[in-house]
Amino acid sequence: MELWHIRGGKRLEGACFVQGSKNASLPILAASVICPASTQLLNVPQLRDVDAALRILRHLGCRAEQRDGEVSIDSRSLSSCNIPHSLMEEMRSSVIFMGALVARCGEARLSLPGGCQLGRRPIDLHLSALRQMGAEIREDGGEIFCSAPELKGAEIVLPFPSVGATENIMLAACAAKGETVIHGAAREPEIAALQDYLRAMGAEVRGAGTDTVVIGALRPEKQIACRIIPDRIVASTIACAAACTGGNVELRGIDPRQFSTVLRFLKQAGCDIISTDRSVRLRSEGRLKAVGEISTAPYPGFPTDAQPVLMAALLKARGLTRITENIFENRYRQVPELCRLGADIVTHGRIAEIWGVDSLHGTALTATDLRGGAAMIVAGLSAQGETLICDEGHISRGYERFDARLRALGADISLA
Ligand code: UD1
């Protein structure tokens, strides 16, 4: 159990570099098994989820090590295509290993993935796409057996731009005979980052960042090097914390276009924001204004992962903010905890109404999930007095040395 201890009311001030992206790292770690090769990755965050992916790689027989931000993988020694339930249940994105293993071995055996409990989170789109590429898939009591001695390219239409399904198809398609075209693909920056890695591996991939991704032949390289992009959700979280504490923070080493929807709302709430190609300076005078309507949507829309932290930043904003959560049906688990700090939030189904209150007061909270936990940190930083957050380790799945990063910006926060 991790215990976050926050004494709220301090303005965040200073400059910080944003960590590498968790959601870009995980599919790339899975992709490293597609062909026998050695991979060097830079700027990989040290996180529980990254560690879980490295353990899966070792279980599969690969060499996989992380030293600070550098990960090296040697997948030539891969000796298994089975991932046991104990490793699968640690995170949702373990399912991306399915496409990668089928590409390398012609089969994969795994179980339904774990991860944050944000709703049903089915994997029907992943399975249907792999079937269209010629895979035979049998599901038996939570176990999945996927067999595809020869994958063939296909025209796949995704009815919803699922990030994970797009990634799984891209990985499997690297070993398919003929071209694969994904229509209705997810357009997230992490998809473009995966394309960059696959190109470095020798795959012909184009279109990432648009809704049509095309994957052609793979001429495998033996050595692959790649730098992980910065984490736009961590950047959003720090920006939200600076905004609601009356802070003045410069985020460095990031691409502001990748979280421009979040910055736009913070600007509307009254923050002064100056962006360059690689940095953002955010200055806030203190109390924010409510922003009206926020709707989560697939990229380039407002990201569901930033919804809880923006909600936390707006708890004291003057007026009413209404959020519609369109991606996950159970993404308001942080709300009862935020109300314990004195927030006034009413939820009906997918809608949450936040009525700005004059002040928040610290108390003891329990982290419910990764981004919900981060929202509690943001709220605790702007509350009067002490906030304690009991956390089973959700927050460290996605935030690297978050206590130290926030302390360097002047926050009174510790992690025990
Ligand atoms: C990824 C991100 C997660 C983010 C989410 C949406 C990673 C490791 N995780 O998750 O942080 O919140 O994108 O931006 O990158 N769906 C189906 N069937 C499927 C697949 C998805 O119905 O086969 C639905 C889901 O239930 C959900 C929606 O599609 O309602 C979006 O899911 P998806 O884009 O697949 O999210 P993940 O890849 O799981």
pLDDT at 116 over 60: no
Q: At what angle do helices 163-173 and 22-31 cross, to 10 degrees?
A: 20
Q: How far is the CA of 125 from the centre of ligand 1 (A)?
A: 10
- Dump pLDDT digits (tens) for 322-337: 999 999 988 999 999 9
Please, which residues have CB within 8 angstroms of residue 259's CB and are 6 or more apart in sequence? 232, 233, 235, 236, 239, 303, 306
User: How many degrees, rounded to 5, is the angle at CA 333 between CA 409 and CA 13?
Assistant: 10
Q: Closest ligand 1 atom to the C-alpha of 299?
A: 14
Q: How confident is the model at residue 115 (pLDDT cuts 50, 70, 90)?
A: low
Ligand 1 within 6 A of 98 CB? no
CB 253 within 8 A of CB 18: yes
Catalytic residue among 116, 146, 174, 240: 116
Q: How far is the CA of 297 from the centre of ligand 1 (A)?
A: 11
Strands 38-42 and 2-7: unpaired
Q: How far apart are CA 238 and CA 409, in angstroms?
A: 10
Q: Using only C-alpha atoms, what is the Rg of the chain? A: 21
* pTM for this model (two decimals): 0.97
Q: Closest ligand 1 atom to the C-alpha of 126?
A: 23
| Catalytic residue flag (residue 116) | yes
Q: Which of 87, 104, 90, 92 is nearest to 33 (CA)?
A: 104
Ligand 1 within 6 A of 162 CB? yes
Q: How far apart are CA 24 and CA 295, in angstroms?
A: 24
Q: Please choose from 29, 160, 166 the residue to mutate so as to test ligand 1's pocket, defined by most ligand atoms within 8 A of CB.
A: 160
Strands 70-74 and 63-67: antiparallel
Q: How many CB atoms lie within 10 A of CB 51?
A: 15
Q: What percent of the chain has pLDDT over 90?
A: 92
Q: How far apart are CA 31 and CA 319, in angstroms?
A: 46
CB 177 within 8 A of CB 151: yes
Ligand 1 within 6 A of 164 CB? yes
Q: Chain-wide mean pLDDT for the chain?
A: 96
pLDDT at 180 over 70: yes
What is the average per-residue pLDDT within 152-160?
97
